[in-house]
Amino acid sequence: MGPFGAGDIRYSLGEPQLVSNLMLFPIKASSADPKPRFRTLEEGLADDSVQITEPGGGHSRVGIQNRSGSEVFIIDGEGITGGKQNRIAAASLVIGPRVSKEIPVYCSEHGRWAGSKSFSGSNEIAYPSIRRLSTASRSSRRTARSIQSSIWMEISRKQASLKVRSATQSMQDIYASKEKEMEPELLSYLGQEPPPDQVGVLAATQKRILCIDIFYNHPLFGRFSKKLFISCALESMEDKGRGGGSFDDGRCEEFFHSALAAEPAENPGDDHPESFYKFRAPGMLGVGKVLRYRRKAVHASFFPDVKI
């Protein structure tokens, strides 16, 4: 994407839109391949061309079979439900046509280890704090077990903060509990069609920057825009009613340009085929990653990491 290998494409921020206590900047591309190219995991699971199953022996991997003739894109943090525990994808991935393999996941439900061997789709993407934690931890080469413990702790913290009860300490229960509270903002946001040159979004509250997501093209962004908005709306609930802070367009713009200028921190690995990036922005350090498939930058995400 831009400096990440997408040729002459240039990215810019459009005018922000305020939805409740969320400020959403559309990320626009100077040009992009308009063809959809990728199917989503949700689409594949819905028509049974993709199946996900428990491989047995732990919760850090699941088996996936893509029986279709198209590539399937999975975004990091994307939820699947069922199996012996609900899971979220540990990385952004592309599954090739007619490919069967195991992929890395994290458990998003601590108190259950029973059920079926198969999974169904979910409407949720993990909220930005979990995605940031995963990205920062993987870029620092923390073990999967250590990252999993941190994710369970974060879900427990979020449930306590938002006063959500869950018998199995499930992330998905947080979304279900807060769905009605998010509905007015969601309807307002979805009532406006994204412009055809929008390929991503930068989200912030009056207290903090949440995340940046940039996709291969507008159709792929469109398939994830609702899920991303819901994840950011859930995250923003903790900032509602807190004193201090204000929306800062300039700080968001500086973070955006710092992210686009980031230098690679690591080479992609076989298990997580992403390049990691670390960068310095005014008042903070940032971390991010870019997934490439056949030399194309398919998805990039960036998060504030540490305040300085």
State the pLDDT at residue 41: 95
Q: What is the pLDDT of residues 140-163, one digit of tens each?
A: 888 989 999 999 999 999 999 999
Q: Which residues pair with 237 in a beta bridge?
A: none
Q: What average pLDDT does this structure show over 123-136?
A: 95
Q: How many domains does the chain have?
A: 1
Q: Which residues pair with 285 in a beta bridge?
A: 280, 306
pLDDT over 70 for what percent of the chain? 91
Q: What is the pLDDT of residues 239-264, one digit of tens each?
A: 886 766 788 899 999 999 999 998 88
Q: What is the pLDDT of residues 197-206, one digit of tens each?
A: 999 999 999 9
State the pLDDT at residue 220: 93
* pTM, to two decimals: 0.92
In the predicted structure, residue 296 carries a pLDDT above the cut 90: no
179-188 long-range CB contacts below 8 Å, 24 or more apart? 181/237, 182/230, 182/233, 182/234, 182/237, 184/20, 185/19, 185/20, 185/22, 185/233, 186/226, 186/229, 186/230, 186/233, 188/19
195 lies in which domain range?
A: 2-307
